[in-house]
Structure 1
Amino acid sequence: MSFPDVFKALSDPVRREILTLLKQQGKMPAGEIAAEFELSNATISYHLSMLRKADLVFETRYQKYIYYEINTSVFESIAMWILQFRE
């Protein structure tokens, strides 16, 4: 996990919506994620790759499908880092 990659990934509203969707729905295949947005599959694929690069999601392959799920440990690490600055 790299903080710059995480914050860059979180800066985009579509990626934040994908994370919210995964938090609510749990593990989902890429096609179902794409169906929730009025964007091309290629655009969703790009956003998912940015989330993967930042370790914000896990990718699991099963047969011909790729499933994504949220990686909460990254959020825990970020929260701990931020909390060190409180008084």
Structure 2
Amino acid sequence: MNLVFEALSHPVRRKIVKVLKQGPKSAGDLAELFDLTKPTMSAHFAKLKKAELVRTTRQGNTILYHLNASVLETALSDLLDFKQGGSND
């Protein structure tokens, strides 16, 4: 859960997640939304992948990013449990 919230702590990564809610996007399509260098975008993608918030598939030379909503749902559920006094570590 910590990796998920760490990944979501940055506004660029939150925007990527929001865009991916609409469906898979290529790395290039996502990068066009930001005025950032390719290495910076790659670092954001890597952080989201490490937290398992996104998964990738390859179509030819194109890498598509997909939102892994189940991880997000689990993290939000854990957060709500925590807020209600639960003890999910």
How does the TM-score come out when normalised to structure 1? 0.88
**Secondary structure of residue in 2 paired with 1:36:** coil
Q: How many residues align?
A: 84
Pairwise CA RMSD: 1.3
Alignment-mate amino acid for residue 3 of structure 2 = D
Percent of aligned pairs sharing the same letter: 43
For 1:55 and 1:23, the matched residues in 2 are separated by 15
Alignment of 1:1-87 (within 5 A): 3-24=1-22, 26-84=23-81, 85-86=83-84
Q: Secondary structure at the match of 1:80?
A: helix
Q: Which has a greater percent of helix?
A: 1
Gaps of 5+ in 2: none
Question: Structure 1 segments of 4 or more deviating over 6 A?
Answer: none
Gaps of 5+ in 1: none
Q: Residue 83 of structure 1: CA displacement?
A: 2.6
Q: Distance in 1 between matches of 2:3 and 2:79?
A: 16
